[in-house]
Structure formats: C-alpha cells, structure tokens
Structure 1
Amino acid sequence: MSKLAALDHLLQRYKALNYHQDPVLFQRLQDVQHWQKARLKDSHQTLFAKKNNQLMAQYFVNRLYGGPDFDILAQQIERLLKYAHKAEPLIPEHAIKTGTHGIELSILAVELDEQVAQQLIRNYPIDQALTDEMMRQTYIDLQQADARLKQLAMADEFGYYLDQHLRSFIVQTAFKMCKSVAYKHQFQEMYDFMHEGFAALKPLKSAEDFVKTFSQQERQVIEKVHNGHLNPFRFAEQ
C-alpha cells in the first residue's frame, strides 16, 4: 500500500465539508477561525511569549488550529496522489507520517469549527460579531468536549512525532534536498507546511513538552466550559 494512501482519505474528508458549497457558512467559519486564533493567543500568552516557543506557537495557531485556506494545499495533495509512485522515494517515510498527522489535525480543527459556525448561524444573526459568551454557549450547546479532547490527544501525538521523527539530521537533510523538486512541480504549499514545522522545532529542546503544556491548558479550558465557568478562556495568572 502507498505510504501516501492516508492522504486520499483526508482529502475526501476535506472535500465533504459543507462550507465549500455555502458562502454564508464559509463567512461564519472564517469568523470562528479568526476568534479561535485570537483566543488561543490570549489563553496561552505566557507559554507563547517564551522566546524559544514563539515559532511553534505560530505554527499551532496558523497551521494546526486556526487553519489557513486549505484549498491550495488540498489541490496539491490531489496532484501528489496521482504521482505517488514517483514522489514517495523522494520524501522520507517519517516525514510523510508526521506531515500526514499534521494535515489530519488541521482538517479536524476545520471540521469542529464548521460545526461551531453552523450552530452560530442557527442561534444568532449572521452579522453579529462573535463574543466570548456566544462561543462559550455554543460550545455547551454542541457538547464537543469529547471531540475536542480527541483533538488534543492528536496534538500530543504530533508533538511526539516532531521530536522522534524530524530531529534526525538525515531526515532534515533529505527534506531540504526536496525543496527544488517540490517548488519545480508546484508543491510549494505542501513543502512550506512541513518546512514551518521544521523551523518551529529547531529552537525547542522538546516539541513534545511544548505541546503537552499547551494541551494541558486547553483541557482546563474545556473542563471550565462544560462546568459552567463564566470566563473559561483565560487563566487566573494572566
């Protein structure tokens, strides 16, 4: 079986998202993602402000949680799958595994945020600016706790993969050698997705430790939301 086969399943999940055919939902999803990015920066400002953590914080917010427009990346994945037999020998297996996991984490974030956007459309005027209270109540209405905890477990795995698979000098050298080929064949977005992960990893002693601290704090947010805390998105020390 192709090492890239898992990407086809992820591509189908992405294509199945409702916002592709619904401009109103698309706009509300963008609102949710904008709020989500700002919220993550606020909730984790102490962790994110540490010098060595800043690149990884940006990677989590912009790539794995907030999610840029995934259309270009999805198109490149689709093209890559057509030439999997040629591409696989050029990409280290561990890099494929880690990259696939990161893409799945990103798609899961969009799936969960799309559910939030749909619930907001049902309960509030489409042009109403999002507030923390609207989001708190929407999370309660959706009962997403289990799904969000799964998301955090996947994030913990990703931190482990970064440390175990991408710190290798051989893997990093092989990845750098792929850049010219990736850009030549217009796979820039896919390459940059992984490159940003490598760059964010470099200043850290342990990506796994960073992610575990992040996910532990996010679990506190989830617990406070579902225990009725009226200000669940900020920590007392901040």
Structure 2
Amino acid sequence: MSQAIIAHLQQVNARRDLAEKMGLMQTIHQLQSWQCERLLATHSDLAAQERYQKAMAFFVDELYGPKDFSQRDADIARVIPKLAKVLPAKAMDALDDALALNALSFDLDMQMSQALNGADINRDNYARAYREVGRGDDRAHQIDIIAHLGQQLADVVNIRGIGMLISLARRPAKLAGLLTLHEFLERGFNAFKALGDVHSFIDPVITRERELMHALLAPSLTIEKDNPLPDV
C-alpha cells in the first residue's frame, strides 16, 4: 500500500512539473475552479442540506479543487511508512483512493487545459474539450474511485477509537511539521462522521456523475442544443 501511495504522489508531482514547464498551471487552476462550481451546481440540492455540507466541501476543497496540495503530499511521502504502522488498514485504503483520485484528476485536467487551447471556460467550451479528450475508461474509473473512497471513509469513521486517535495526534503532528497532513485527515473524518448514512450522499452523486459523463461522450450529442452541463 505504501508503494502505491508513493507512486500516486510521484505521478502527480511529475505532471505538475511538466504543466509548469508548459505554462498550463494557470489554466488548470481556472479549470479546477470551474469544475468545482459545476459540481456544486449539479448537486445543489445536496450542498444545501446541512448534514451533507462538510462532505461536499471535503470533496471540492480537499480532493478536487485548485488548492495547492504540495505540502500535504510532501508530508505523506515523508511519513508514509510510519502512517502504515499507526493507521488502520481502511484508513490507508482511503488515503490511497484520495491520492489516486488526485493524480488521475490532475492528468485529465492537464489534457483538458490543452484541449481548451486558451478558450474561455464555459459550459459549451468545456463540453467540446471533454469530448475531444475522451478517455471514457479513465472518466469512469475516476467516478469509481470516488464511490470507493466514500465507502472507505464511511467505514473508517466507524472504527472504534479512530476519532480519539486523530484528535490526540494533532499536537505531535504539529510538532513534527505535519499539521497540513493531520488537518486533511481530520477534515475527512469530520465530514463523513457528520453524514450518518453515507449512501444517501454518495449514491446520488455517483449516479448523476455517471449520467453526465455518458451524456457528454454520447456520439449523438449536439452541444448547442443538448449540453447537459449546468450554467455556472
């Protein structure tokens, strides 16, 4: 598991370095911001419900948005062997999912930024770039990771004593220079602890995202008439 996590970190770091050299980072950040707004618009009914707000914010802010994850990733790479000894297996699985999602999403975003080729990011230009990039199998896998991650986090919050473990780890993490990593883990725990029934949140998200993916990639789609993306 540790090696898989390190591989995800190496992949996304290599892609970030390449994006920097290609001058794509500004477009990637703009794209990520637009996609976060799109997610919130697509799932506005969930985002409006108090018990789902922390989970929605965690996905948008901690897994998919334009936030700089370099410090968190450096922390993980530095302590992953120790984490594997301390965290339950399900927590390690969730961390693996989160970093796999981050790596795949960045790779797709980088290619989307190239396909946009300087065009304004709006629903029609996004749909055109999405169809040009294609990669339906990777898009489907991206959604599958989200579904699996949601279930993993739901299982983690039910582990006896995990909340206490995370709480007690805050001061040692700060002293060790790992506060960014600790806050990431703590926010994920708190977000899914507040959900109660995780499937009431995850299932509609996954269903809608799959429907949207299939609609965008459908050969018969006419963007000007049938664009399934919301206005953001």
Fold match, TM over 0.5? yes
For the pair 1:142 / 2:133, whether they are aligned, the reply is yes
For the pair 1:94 / 2:85, whether they are aligned, the reply is no
Which amino acid in 2 is paired with 1:157?
Answer: H
Counting only pairs closer than 5 Å after superposition, residues 82-121 of structure 1 correspond to structure 2 as 84=81, 86-121=82-117
Listed one character per residue, the Cα deviations across residues 55-114 of structure 1 (whole Å, up to 9, x for unaligned) are 101111112222521211222123224xx2x44433333322212221221222111111
Counting only pairs closer than 5 Å after superposition, residues 131-170 of structure 1 correspond to structure 2 as 131-170=122-161
Listed one character per residue, the Cα deviations across residues 171-207 of structure 1 (whole Å, up to 9, x for unaligned) are 2222222211111111112111111111111221222
TM-score by length of 2: 0.88
Q: Secondary structure at the match of 1:169?
A: coil
Unpaired stretches in structure 1, ≥5 consecutive residues: none
Name the CA shift for 1:79/1:20 in 2 (closer, same or farther; >3 Å).
farther
Equivalences, count: 224
Distance 2:155 2:165 in 1: 16
Which amino acid in 2 is paired with 1:98?
Answer: A
Name the CA shift for 1:47/1:111 in 2 (closer, same or farther; >3 Å).
same
Q: Which runs of 4+ in 1 moved over 4 A?
A: none
Name the CA shift for 1:169/1:13 in 2 (closer, same or farther; >3 Å).
same
Listed one character per residue, the Cα deviations across residues 105-163 of structure 1 (whole Å, up to 9, x for unaligned) are 12221111111012112xxxx3x431111000011111132211111111111111112
TM-score by length of 1: 0.86
Distance 1:231 1:214 in 2: 19
CA contact (8 A) 1:64 1:109 kept: no
Counting only pairs closer than 5 Å after superposition, residues 1-238 of structure 1 correspond to structure 2 as 3-17=1-15, 18-22=18-22, 24-81=23-80, 84=81, 86-121=82-117, 126=118, 128-227=119-218, 228=221, 230-234=226-230
Q: Secondary structure at the match of 1:194?
A: helix
Q: Secondary structure at the match of 2:132?
A: helix
Q: Does 28-37 or 61-70 show the bigger shift?
A: 61-70
Name the CA shift for 1:55/1:87 in 2 (closer, same or farther; >3 Å).
closer
Q: Secondary structure at the match of 1:16?
A: helix
Which amino acid in 1 is paired with 2:109?
Answer: D
Name the CA shift for 1:183/1:146 in 2 (closer, same or farther; >3 Å).
same
Distance 2:66 2:93 in 1: 20
Q: Does 203-212 or 140-149 show the bigger shift?
A: 203-212
RMSD: 1.9
Distance 2:76 2:114 in 1: 27
CA contact (8 A) 1:159 1:211 kept: yes
Distance 1:28 1:209 in 2: 34
Unpaired stretches in structure 2, ≥5 consecutive residues: none
CA contact (8 A) 1:221 1:232 kept: yes
